[in-house]
Homo-oligomer: A and B are copies of this chain.
Amino acid sequence: MKCINLSSEEKLKEAAKSVFLRKGFAGTTARDIADAAGMNIALTNYYFRSKEKLFVEIFKDLFSLYCTNTVKILEKPIGLKEKIIEIIEEDYRMMKEEPTLVLFIMTEIHRDCENLLPELSKYKELLKGMFIDQIAEEVRKGSMRDIEVEHLMPIIIGSLQFVFVGKNMHMKMYSMSEGQFDNYTETHKNHVIGMVTNYLFQSA
Interface string of A188-204 (1 = CB under 8 A from B): 10011011101100100
**Interface 9-mer from A3-11, A35-43, A101-109, A135-143:** A101-109
Per assembly, the copies of the chain total 2
Assess the A155–B159 pair: CB atoms within 8 A: yes
120-152 of chain A: CB within 8 A of chain B? 120-121, 123-124, 127, 147, 150-151
Assess the B158–A111 pair: CB atoms within 8 A: no
Assess the B163–A158 pair: CB atoms within 8 A: yes
**Interface 9-mer from A48-56, A78-86, A164-172:** A164-172
Assess the B109–A169 pair: CB atoms within 8 A: yes
A124 to B176, CA, bound (A): 12
Task: From known contacts A117-B172, A168-B109, infer whether A188 and B26 are also in contact, taking CB-CB under 8 Å.
Answer: no
Residue of B nearest to A192 (CB): B155
Residue of B nearest to A159 (CB): B158
6 closest Cβ pairs, A-B complex:
A158-B162, A158-B159, A26-B27, A195-B199, A26-B26, A162-B162
12 contacts between A and B (CB under 8 A): A24-B111, A109-B166, A110-B168, A120-B173, A127-B173, A150-B184, A151-B187, A155-B159, A159-B159, A162-B162, A191-B199, A194-B199
